[in-house]
Amino acid sequence: MRPSGRQLNEMRPVSIETGVTMHAEGSCMIKCGNTHVLCTATIDERVPPFMRNSGQGWVTAEYGMLPRSTSSRMRREASQGKQGGRTIEIQRLIGRALRAGVDRQALGERQITIDCDVIQADGGTRCASITGGWVALRLAVNKLLKSGALVSDPLISNVAAVSCGLYAGQPVLDLDYPEDSEAGVDGNFIMLANGQLVETQMSAEGATYSRAQMDDLLDLAQKGIAELVAAQNAAVA
């Protein structure tokens, strides 16, 4: 029934390759099917002004899409003179999600910036950015631990994200672009490794949903998140 022939509760193949750029303190290329996102982590020994002298660190994120990551070419945001509303919404989400897995006191007064740049898009780029962004973060923190700059691990859990939605009336896991563009209801679910929720964003365009349908999607999401956490752990092992 799904355009890709997948089962309703079947994820796309996930691969996470680490160490893909020579300059970043942590990096990976995450591929969820045909969605490919390059995630890098940059450590800065200063925090932004609103965090100074708080004794706490900060994790933030930026998101971008290459102009031809999409089916038809998008105008480059740099040449349009501003980041669009969608970009801003997504990068705020990525930062907020990753901070949920961090003990900012233990991180100390430093900032880690996660850059998520979409090389190729086929639906679910924000979820891939969070899942891959956590891997880049993990690698950067490992570097701080190895160098002795940090003595205890500030990461309290994996953070991963997956989308689910109602496609042709059925709850499906991990929507690709053909599904995403048809689904009237879809959600992004962000969880820790133990299934605790970090963020739920379910929205409808030209449709609504019941609490029972919401529960179905949450069940699917939990299954997907478990698989993503396993992939993250394998990548950073």
Question: Exactly one of 8, 51, 100, 230 binds its own copies (CB under 8 A); which one?
Answer: 100
Stretch that binds its own copies, among 8-16, 73-81, 124-132, 144-152 (CB under 8 A): 73-81
Count interface residues toward its own copies (CB under 8 A): 62
Collect all residues with Cβ–Cβ distance below 8 Å to 236 and sequence separation of at least 6.
Answer: 18, 135, 138, 139, 142
Q: How far apart are alpha carbons 19 and 85 in whole angstroms? A: 31
| Structural tokens at position 110 | 């430093």
In this complex, which beta carbon is closest to its own copies, that of residue 1 or of residue 3?
3
Q: How far apart are alpha carbons 128 and 40 in whole angstroms? A: 13
Bridge partners of residue 112, in order along the sequence:
43, 59
What does the H/E/C string look like for 163-202?
EEEEECCEEEECCCHHHHCCCCEEEEEEEECCCCEEEEEE
3-state secondary structure of 234: helix
Determine, following the binding rule CB under 8 A, whether residue 53 of this chain makes contact with its own copies.
no
**Is 148 one of the annotated binding-site residues?**
no
**Is 126 one of the annotated binding-site residues?**
yes
Instruction: Tell me which H or E stretch contains 102.
Output: none
Least gap, CB of 200 to its own copies (angstroms): 4
Least gap, CB of 91 to its own copies (angstroms): 8
3-state secondary structure of 86: helix
Determine, following the binding rule CB under 8 A, whether residue 143 of this chain makes contact with its own copies.
no
Q: How far apart are alpha carbons 11 and 172 in whole angstroms? A: 9
Least gap, CB of 98 to its own copies (angstroms): 12
In this complex, which beta carbon is closest to its own copies, that of residue 22 or of residue 237?
22
Determine, following the binding rule CB under 8 A, whether residue 142 of this chain makes contact with its own copies.
no
Least gap, CB of 204 to its own copies (angstroms): 6
Could you list the residues that contact its own copies (CB under 8 A)?
Answer: 21-24, 27, 34, 38, 40, 42, 44, 62, 64, 66-71, 73, 76-83, 85, 87-89, 92, 96, 99-100, 104, 113, 115, 117, 119-120, 122, 187, 192, 196-211, 214, 218
Residues annotated within the binding site for phosphate are 86, 124-126
